[in-house]
């Protein structure tokens, strides 16, 4: 039905065009850098390379992608919780306040992008005994050289954020989410190709290798089905409205419900936990072997026992924090009371807030366990089947792709229904 709507088709084509422009920018490499030398060190970036679709390991002008904006968004949301009163006031000002917060988030994202770009560039140069090895022959390396490269990467992030805003305004879905998904999907072909080379096309292939190949593919399919089911699951709290007019009751039911997603925090807890865990290990990779880097790897590398436990703990902490941040039980109870609505068997006010808190706590506990399992699957699979780090079976990437796909499908459906209603009214 959506394909018959010309407006929807234009939105899809516009989104595809913007993503194509971004992908072309992916192949524009940053100047002065010896790309051949960096090609052998792509593994050092780890999780930071996921959101950019490999642009960081390619060291292109859009290497940082939208990752600084994600970090900035989380920081701004944290500061709204009575930490910075001005930001809390903006959050309660409606559309005007949202524009102010959005503008502040962009400025903070650019600041973080510059810091991140400068840190990566200096750290990468320090990784080699001779810092000039990172640069092309004949480049005079000075402090301004690093600032210059950081400014280019920051400009690349600004360009990607501008493209993302265009998708949000004129395309399908949220622009930032679409770039994340595009980066993840861009890595799928190479991942499948590496899986085939690992088990099927190698010279001494055995029957066991073929079995493992199909088992891994089957697990991928089952995990995708499970994630789709869990992302769509929700708990509905019944709500009834007192003194609703008879005409309204005649047109429909006099009761409704409050839907609470099983995974109301979405993938934010895993992203934040993974980012926090990956930053120290990335620094450790640049520092070279020592006692300090050994313990950094043990504590913050989630493939190690201590790091794995810390990773799961962080997922639980951020799941509860973000869920209660997104759905404030006190505000929900207050809004129900203003609308002359109530939950059957529960008194309005504090008792309603307490009931919603208990329900949200139980749902978030299940959602945090689900997120922990999905995030743990790639780590367990790599240990069991001895897979390389580039092959991800499940994990954060899959949750992001499924979540964005569901939201995009809902938007397409909404656009189609709006077209049908307008045609009926006309």
pLDDT in tens, 94-139: 788 888 888 999 999 999 999 988 887 877 776 665 556 667 767 7
Residues 225 and 331 in one domain: yes
Q: What percent of the chain has pLDDT over 90?
A: 9
pLDDT for 251: 47
Assess if residue 13 is contained within a domain: yes
pLDDT for 276: 78
Containing 284, the helix (H) or strand (E) segment is helix 268-287
DSSP secondary structure string for all residues of 366-383: HHHHHHHHHHHHHHHHHH
Cβ-proximal residues to 78 (8 Å cutoff; 6+ apart), any chain: none
Selection from 356, 388, 330, 337 nearest residue 42 by Cα: 388
Residues 41 and 169 in one domain: yes
SS3 state at 341: strand
Max avg pLDDT among 157-161, 238-242, 272-276, 411-415: 157-161
Assess if residue 323 is contained within a domain: yes
Residues 199 and 116 in one domain: no
What tokens were used for 409? 């499908």
Residue 250: pLDDT band by 50, 70, 90 thresholds? very low
Residues 142 and 265 in one domain: no
Residues 237 and 383 in one domain: yes
Assess if residue 79 is contained within a domain: yes
Identify the bridge partners of residue 236 per DSSP, sorted by sequence position: 259
What tokens were used for 93? 């000002």
Decide which of 186, 208, 233 is a domain's last residue: 186
Helical H runs in 27-142? 35-38, 55-58, 67-79, 85-91, 95-127
- Spell out a b/e string for 343-373, using b for 16 or more CB atoms within 10 Å of the CB, else e: beebebeeebbebbbebbeebbeebbebbbe
Assess if residue 409 is contained within a domain: no
Q: What's the whole-number mean pLDDT along residues 4-30?
A: 85
Assess if residue 353 is contained within a domain: yes
Q: What is the pLDDT of residues 202-224, one digit of tens each?
A: 777 778 888 888 888 888 888 88
Decide which of 154, 186, 218 is a domain's last residue: 186
Residues 159 and 244 in one domain: no
Decide which of 186, 209, 234 is a domain's last residue: 186
What tokens were used for 364? 């978030």
Which domain range does residue 121 map to? 1-186
Assess if residue 424 is contained within a domain: no
Q: What is the pLDDT of residues 136-170, one digit of tens each?
A: 767 777 888 889 989 999 999 999 999 999 998 88
Count of C-beta atoms within a 10 Å radius of residue 30: 20
Containing 257, the helix (H) or strand (E) segment is strand 255-261
Residues 206 and 129 in one domain: no
Count of structural domains, the chain: 2
SS (H, E, C) 84-115: CHHHHHHHCCCHHHHHHHHHHHHHHHHHHHHH
Residues 210 and 77 in one domain: no
For residue 18, pLDDT over 80 is answered with: yes
Count of C-beta atoms within a 10 Å radius of residue 286: 17
For residue 256, pLDDT over 50 is answered with: yes
Task: Identify whether the C-beta of residue 270 lies closer than 8 Å to the C-beta of residue 371.
Answer: yes
pLDDT averaged over the chain? 78
CATH number at residue 381: 1.10.3370.10
Q: What's the whole-number mean pLDDT along residues 399-406?
A: 77
End-to-end CA distance of the chain: 19
Q: What's the whole-number mean pLDDT along residues 397-421?
A: 72
More confident residue, 108 or 179: 108
Residues 238 and 338 in one domain: yes
Assess if residue 414 is contained within a domain: no
Assess if residue 403 is contained within a domain: no
Residues 211 and 253 in one domain: yes
More confident residue, 297 or 234: 234
Residues 157 and 230 in one domain: no
Quick one: CA dihedral 181, 186, 189, 194, positive or negative? Answer: negative
Q: Report CA-CA distances (Å) from 314 to 51, 170, 319.
A: 20, 36, 8
For residue 33, the 8-state DSSP code is B
Residues 192 and 181 in one domain: no
């Amino acid at each position: 039905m959506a394909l018959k709507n010309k407006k929807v088709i234009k939105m899809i084509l516009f989104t595809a065009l913007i993503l194509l422009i971004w992908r072309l920018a992916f192949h524009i490499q940053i100047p002065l850098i010896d790309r051949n030398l960096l090609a052998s060190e792509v593994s050092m970036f780890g999780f930071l390379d996921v959101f950019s679709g490999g642009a960081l390991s390619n060291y292109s002008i859009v290497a940082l992608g939208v990752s600084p904006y994600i970090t900035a968004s989380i920081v701004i949301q944290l500061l709204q919780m009575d930490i910075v009163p001005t930001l809390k006031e903006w959050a309660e000002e409606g559309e005007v306040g949202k524009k102010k917060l959005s503008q502040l988030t962009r400025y903070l994202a650019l600041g973080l992008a510059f810091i991140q770009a400068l840190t990566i560039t200096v750290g990468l140069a320090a990784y080699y005994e001779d810092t000039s090895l990172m640069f092309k022959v004949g480049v005079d390396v000075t402090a301004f050289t690093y600032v210059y490269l950081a400014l280019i990467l920051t400009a690349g992030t600004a360009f990607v954020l501008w493209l993302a805003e265009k998708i949000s305004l004129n395309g399908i879905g949220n622009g930032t989410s679409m770039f994340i998904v595009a980066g993840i999907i861009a890595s799928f072909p190479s991942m499948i190709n590496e899986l085939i080379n690992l088990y099927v096309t190698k010279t001494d292939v055995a029957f066991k290798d073929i079995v493992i190949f199909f088992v891994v593919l089957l697990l991928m399919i089952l995990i995708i089905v499970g994630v789709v089911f869990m992302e769509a699951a929700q708990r509905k709290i019944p709500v009834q409205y007192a003194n609703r007019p008879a005409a309204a009751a005649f047109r429909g039911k006099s009761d409704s419900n409050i839907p609470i997603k099983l995974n109301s925090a979405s993938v934010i807890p895993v992203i934040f936990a993974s980012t926090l865990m990956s930053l120290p290990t990335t620094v450790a990779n640049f520092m070279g072997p020592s006692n300090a880097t050994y313990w950094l790897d043990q504590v913050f590398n989630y493939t190690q026992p201590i790091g794995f436990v810390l990773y799961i703990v962080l997922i639980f902490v951020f799941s509860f924090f973000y869920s209660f941040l997104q759905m404030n039980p006190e505000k929900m109870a207050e809004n129900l009371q203003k609308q002359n609505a109530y939950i059957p068997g529960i008194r309005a006010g504090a008792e309603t807030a307490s009931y919603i808190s208990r329900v949200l706590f139980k749902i978030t506990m299940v959602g945090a366990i689900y997120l922990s399992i999905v995030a743990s699957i790639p780590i367990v699979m790599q240990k069991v089947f001895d897979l390389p780090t580039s092959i991800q079976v499940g994990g954060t990437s899959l949750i992001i792709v499924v979540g964005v796909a569901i939201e995009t499908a809902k938007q397409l459906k909404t656009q189609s229904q709006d077209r049908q209603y307008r045609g009926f009214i006309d």
